[in-house]
């Protein structure tokens, strides 16, 4: 891949929007994050205006399982908001007896508010592959929480996967 005007333009745009180099590389395709960083550097727009940004948003994920959550917590990460958990559980029980697709939406959007919502290329062996959102929409991505030792899904989603609808009760 070479840096066409269009690609450079998109690079500038995404970089200005605050996306990380790896995310930009993912969107452009055909280049590594190093390539993006290198290009940014050569274009002399490394500053990005303000802050160090990146990796500060929605950190500290805490899957329901895995030994996460240390007691002390001296690293000072931002805690994820725990939003209306009871509402989610209620909606879950209600929706599960109906159909599959709506259930997926309910689960991903309401019951499990915590997620990193990673793009496909950012997934690795330790990130939850539970799909988030509508596959036909541009914001479709994956949960991305730490899966711990249990498998392809995080603590929340592993309890939902492969189970008959009648066996599903509540998360947590």
- Give min distance, CB of 156 to DNA, in A: 19
- Give min distance, CB of 63 to DNA, in A: 13
Written as six digits, the tokens of 162 are: 């492969």
Q: What are phi and psi of 151, to 5 degrees?
A: 150, -155
How big is the chain, counted in residues? Answer: 172
Q: Which of 74, 137 has the CB closer to DNA?
A: 74
Listed residue (120, 1, 43) closest to 14, CA to CA: 43
- Give min distance, CB of 139 to DNA, in A: 17
Q: Residues 23, 37: contact at Cβ < 8 Å?
A: no
- Give min distance, CB of 61 to DNA, in A: 11
Rounded Cα distance between 145 and 152, Å, is 10
Residues that bind DNA in the complex, under the rule CB under 7 A: 1-3, 19-23, 31-35, 37-42, 46, 52, 54-55, 122, 124-127
Q: Which of 48, 168 has the CB closer to DNA?
A: 48
Q: What are phi and psi of 35, to 5 degrees?
A: -60, -40
Q: Which of 39, 159 has the CB closer to DNA?
A: 39
- Give min distance, CB of 99 to DNA, in A: 33
Q: Which of 52, 166 has the CB closer to DNA?
A: 52
Instruction: List all residues 6 or more positions away from 28 whose beta carbon is below 8 Å from its beta carbon.
Output: 1, 7, 10, 11, 14, 36
Q: Which of 62, 122 has the CB closer to DNA?
A: 122
- Cross-strand partners of 127: 146
């Amino acid at each position: 891949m070479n840096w066409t005007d269009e690609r450079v333009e998109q690079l500038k745009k995404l970089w200005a929007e605050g996306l990380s180099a790896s995310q930009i590389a993912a969107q452009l395709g055909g280049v590594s994050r190093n390539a993006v960083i290198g290009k940014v550097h050569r274009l002399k727009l490394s500053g990005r205006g303000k802050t160090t940004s990146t990796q500060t948003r929605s950190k500290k994920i805490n899957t329901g399982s895995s030994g996460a959550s240390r007691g002390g917590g001296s690293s000072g990460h931002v805690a994820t908001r725990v939003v209306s958990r009871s509402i989610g559980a209620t909606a879950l029980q209600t929706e599960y007896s109906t159909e599959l697709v709506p259930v997926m939406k309910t689960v991903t959007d309401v019951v499990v508010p915590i997620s990193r919502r990673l793009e496909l290329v950012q997934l690795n062996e330790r990130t939850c592959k539970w799909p988030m959102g509508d596959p036909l929409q541009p914001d479709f991505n994956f949960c991305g929480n730490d899966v711990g030792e249990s498998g392809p899904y995080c603590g929340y989603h592993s309890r939902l996967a492969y189970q008959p609808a009648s066996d599903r009760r509540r998360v947590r």
